């Protein structure tokens, strides 16, 4: 081999060696890049190929009444989901049939999609089993939560409902959504080499259930109030109605109902306008139910006293260019007579004498014209005209409940002030809440004087006699308010029938405000709303352990007990809230006959107390779930 050939061969070897060294160097650089510089990124890509992540909703907290009865709870239900890119197209038809949907709809949900998708949410267990029996790759059963409200329409407006995404949309479910909502969990699902999901999985973060709410509401009282209101609205062919029941000693709301109701378990069947809680959203002119507070303001002024007398102008009095009328022509009336006879003229004279500023201050102090801060969204503050608009005519009208607007809750709250010796407590719906010190807004002696007048108003001399249950005393006031039209003019066809009061009058345990909108058979609060008060009180008071006074009415008397049967104890008079089994045990123990309607828990009974029954007598109960 010549020197020239040897040199050429040497250079070729050097070139190949150089290329090999360069290749090895590039491989080393690439290895460094992959193993160190891109390590985290590549690990993440690998994990994404091996795992798929999806969110798992947590159950909402439950809602309970004051006795621990469930008012709303989350129930586990199956849903069908899929990893969209794993479902074979040849299985679309049979999968759609099992899901009870069209093939085109299923294709729309799966086509050009990757990862987790919902196919059918909150299905029946039978449907879920039918889908899983097909063994379609990528299709899986997931756990979801459906909200259930056991009392249905009875608590619909107050409790509200939850949407498909698990968020509260109305009522307490909406107002306390942040409290009730749990923390969603995150779950990882492993995949095989072909990208198909493997059974099981691991939790990245387990779901945490929401917190429970314990309400001041009593489910039995809620049922009683709902039934009494529904019966009255139907009988009167009224447009609607509302009832608020409160404990005046601490401001606890024991019941809040509206009619017509709606079922939150199937809220989609109703119009949005039917969802609102009219007890806090709708305002009305309170009419004569405002007169007790005009009376309190007059007594507080020092210019009037309980034994003062007012000349009621024989039924007509002119204020500026406006004439005020009374339904019945009255001459001189004392303070109690003014309330009992419900004189507009008498109330107007008191207000004009003490002045608009003093009356407005008392109305504001008892809770009118501002939100009660109950904690429910959508609450109206009501309407009290600003000070500059209180002329003589406006002052006279407001004195007997015209030109001012209140909610049923505000009316009940104001009557709680009178029932609680002039002390104002902020109303509450949560059992475990910060309770503020009551404020003395009306002197105790004046509040007691007004309550005595209200008790007289429910006697035979007053307009509220139909509110008094046998064996009890009631202090309350009727109201019949004309409804203004869109132009502010009062018509003669549309009225609000109202009654608000407390029982027993000497030691109030209940304050009940009843509002019936546009009754057709009678327009008067004493004929329409007062009987609703009576039906609620005569059932709730024995339930609370407040038994009738056997000397209060002639029909109440002690019964002789036959030999061989135990005597019925005084505290056994109320059956409200008992189950069917408990009712039968009571009947068997005391030798009583029963007539039972419905199932669930007792919300109504007849007689109101069985304490006066003797063995062999019968009683009747109505139950509702």
Distance from C-alpha of 457 to C-alpha of 340, rounded to nearest angstrom? 4
CB 613 within 8 A of CB 568: yes
CB 566 within 8 A of CB 591: no
HSE-up (13 A, CA, CB side) for residue 19: 5
| Distant-in-sequence, close-in-space partners of 28: CB < 8 Å, separation ≥ 6 | none
| Distant-in-sequence, close-in-space partners of 260: CB < 8 Å, separation ≥ 6 | 233, 240, 274
Give, in order, the Cα–Cα distances in Å from 505 to each of 66, 449, 471: 25, 12, 12
What are the phi and psi torsion angles at 231 (to 5°)? -65, -40
Helix 92-99 × helix 103-110 angle, to 10°: 110
Distance from C-alpha of 227 to C-alpha of 624, rounded to nearest angstrom? 10
491 membership: H or E segment, kind and range: strand 490-503
- The per-residue DSSP string of 227-242 comes to HHHHHHHHHHT-SEEE
Give, in order, the Cα–Cα distances in Å from 246 to each of 11, 140, 256, 476: 106, 50, 9, 14
Sign of CA dihedral 189, 192, 193, 196: negative
| Distant-in-sequence, close-in-space partners of 531: CB < 8 Å, separation ≥ 6 | 232, 466, 467
74 membership: H or E segment, kind and range: strand 70-83
91-95: long-range contacts (C-beta < 8 A, 24 or more apart)?
Answer: 91/134, 91/136, 91/137, 94/134, 94/136, 95/119, 95/131, 95/134, 95/136, 95/139
What are the phi and psi torsion angles at 257 (to 5°)? -130, 155
| Distant-in-sequence, close-in-space partners of 322: CB < 8 Å, separation ≥ 6 | 393, 396
Catalytic residue numbers, as ranges: 288
Q: Where are the strands (E) in 196-239, listed by range?
A: 202-205, 213-214
Note the helical H segments in 86-142.
92-99, 103-110, 125-132
541 membership: H or E segment, kind and range: helix 530-543
CB 110 within 8 A of CB 81: no
First to last CA, the chain: 111
């Amino acid at each position: 081999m010549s020197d020239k050939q040897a040199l050429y061969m040497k250079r070729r070897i050097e070139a190949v060696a150089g290329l090999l060294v360069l290749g090895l160097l590039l491989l080393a650089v690439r290895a460094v890049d992959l193993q160190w510089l891109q390590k985290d990124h590549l690990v993440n890509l690998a994990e994404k190929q091996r795992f798929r992540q999806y969110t798992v909703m947590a159950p909402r907290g439950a809602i309970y009444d004051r006795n621990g009865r469930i008012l709303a709870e989350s129930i586990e239900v199956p849903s069908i989901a899929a990893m969209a890119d794993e479902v074979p197209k040849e299985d679309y038809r049979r999968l759609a049939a099992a899901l009870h949907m069209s093939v085109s709809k299923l294709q729309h949900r799966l086509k050009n999609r990757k990862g987790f998708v919902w196919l059918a949410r909150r299905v029946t267990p039978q449907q879920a089993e039918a889908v899983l029996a097909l063994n379609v790759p990528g299709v899986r059963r997931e756990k979801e939560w459906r909200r259930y409200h056991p009392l249905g329409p009875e608590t619909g407006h107050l409790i509200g409902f939850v949407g498909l995404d698990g968020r509260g949309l109305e009522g307490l479910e909406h107002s306390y959504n942040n409290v009730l909502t749990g923390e969603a969990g995150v779950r990882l699902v492993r995949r095989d080499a072909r990208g198909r999901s493997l059974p099981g999985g691991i939790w990245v973060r387990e779901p945490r259930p929401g917190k429970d709410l314990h309400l001041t509401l009593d489910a039995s009282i809620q049922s009683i109030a709902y039934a009494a209101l529904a019966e009255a609205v139907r009988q009167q062919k009224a447009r609607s109605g509302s009832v608020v029941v409160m404990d005046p000693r601490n401001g606890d709301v024991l019941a809040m109902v509206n009619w017509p109701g709606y079922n939150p378990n199937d809220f989609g069947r109703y119009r949005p306008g039917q969802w609102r809680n009219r007890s806090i959203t709708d305002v009305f002119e309170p009419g004569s139910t405002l007169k007790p507070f005009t009376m309190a303001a007059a007594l507080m002024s020092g210019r009037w006293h309980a034994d003062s007398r007012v000349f009621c102008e024989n039924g007509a009095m002119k204020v500026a260019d406006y004439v005020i009328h009374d339904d019945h022509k009255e001459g001189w009336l004392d303070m109690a007579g003014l309330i009992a006879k419900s004189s507009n003229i008498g109330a107007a004279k008191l207000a004009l004498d003490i002045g608009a500023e003093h009356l407005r201050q008392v109305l504001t102090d008892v809770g009118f014209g501002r939100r009660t801060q109950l904690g429910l969204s959508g609450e109206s503050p009501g309407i009290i005209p600003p000070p500059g608009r209180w002329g003589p005519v406006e002052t006279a009208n407001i004195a007997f409940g015209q030109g001012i607007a209140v909610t049923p809750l505000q009316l009940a709250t104001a009557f709680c002030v009178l029932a609680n010796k002039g002390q104002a407590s902020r109303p509450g719906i949560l059992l475990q809440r910060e309770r503020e010190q009551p404020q003395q807004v009306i002197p105790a002696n004046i509040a007691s004087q007004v309550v005595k007048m209200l008790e007289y108003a429910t006697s035979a001399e007053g307009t509220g006699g139909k509110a008094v249950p046998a064996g009890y005393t009631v202090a309350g006031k009727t109201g019949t308010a004309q409804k203004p039209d869109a132009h502010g003019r009062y018509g003669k066809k549309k009225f609000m029938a109202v009654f608000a009061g407390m029982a027993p009058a000497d030691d109030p345990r209940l304050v009940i405000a009843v509002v019936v909108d546009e009754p057709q058979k009678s327009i008067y609060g004493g004929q329409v709303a007062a009987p609703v008060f009576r039906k609620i009180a005569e059932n709730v008071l024995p339930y609370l352990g407040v038994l009738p006074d056997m000397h209060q009415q002639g029909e109440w008397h002690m019964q002789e007990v036959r030999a061989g049967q135990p005597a019925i104890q005084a505290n056994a008079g109320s059956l409200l809230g008992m189950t069917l089994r408990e009712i039968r045990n009571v009947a068997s123990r005391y030798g009583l006959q029963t007539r039972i309607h419905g199932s669930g828990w007792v919300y109504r009974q007849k007689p109101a107390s069985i304490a006066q029954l003797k063995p062999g007598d019968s009683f009747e109960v109505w139950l509702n779930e």
